[in-house]
A and B are shown apart, each in its own frame.
Chain A
Amino acid sequence: TQLLEQSPQFLSIQEGENLTVYCNSSSVFSSLQWYRQEPGEGPVLLVTVVTGGEVKKLKRLTFQFGDARKDSSLHITAAQPGDTGLYLCAGARTNAGKSTFGDGTTLTVKP
């Protein structure tokens, strides 16, 4: 079983602060994705990383895939209330057909 552990489980910060959330596993993945889910909605894809050590930036969000492709991190700079939501990582093996999701990090950014 591919197990993805996310930390922290909950995070509450003030607007303007920086934060990092983590996604860790003992398994190697060919690709890892980060999704954001808002209340009452389904998850929406933010990014896909596929190469060990890869870093991708999406405005104030920076995603990194570990060198061994077992872990990933999401860093948000100068968080805004609009960043509030549930952040999920999902890992898959090459053309596996399905992904395994982590338990998620619930982020609250207070104005």
Chain B
Amino acid sequence: DAGVIQSPRHEVTEMGQEVTLRCKPISGHDYLFWYRQTMMRGLELLIYFNNNVPIDDSGMPEDRFSAKMPNASFSTLKIQPSEPRDSAVYFCASSFFPQGSVHTEAFFGQGTRLTVV
């Protein structure tokens, strides 16, 4: 397996534009996580899915952010409209077991570096 695949690796967009980040989890993993990483706030969980169903979206900063998982092999994180303060590295991760399980390991993608100007 190639691991968690994210695209694009880098995205530069103008304020007000729609941005869509994409993620392909590892096949067979039932849990998918979207994180945002900044110097100021560290690594924050935005939302996670179990079997394609959103379980906890309490980390989504505001209504401008939305995430979908239409099937087990694909997820998107959309920001509309984007703002400069959304600039960050966005990570997708997947795992077979839930976090908190003895056996769990989250596998992270390489991230998407988003810059909103």
Spell out A's residues near B (CB within 8 Å): 30-31, 40-45, 48, 50, 88, 90, 92-104
Contact = CB atoms under 8 A, between A and B. Distances in A.
B108 A44 contact: yes
B105 A97 contact: no
Interface in B1-59: 4, 31, 33, 35, 42-45, 48, 50, 55-56
Given A42-B110, A98-B48, A104 B102 contact: no
A90 B106 CA distance: 11
Interface of B: 4, 31, 33, 35, 42-45, 48, 50, 55-56, 91, 93, 98-102, 104-106, 108-111
**Chain B interface mostly helix, strand, loop or mixed?**
strand
**Chain A interface mostly helix, strand, loop or mixed?**
loop
Given A40-B110, A42-B110, A94 B42 contact: no
Contacts, number: 70
B101 A99 contact: no
B100 A96 contact: yes
B108 A43 contact: yes
Contacts of B55: 97
A80 B63 CA distance: 45
Given A30-B100, A40-B111, A95-B101, 4 more contacts: A48-B105, A94-B100, A98-B56, A98-B99
A25 B35 CA distance: 21
A69 B28 CA distance: 31
A26 B17 CA distance: 41
A103 B108 CA distance: 17
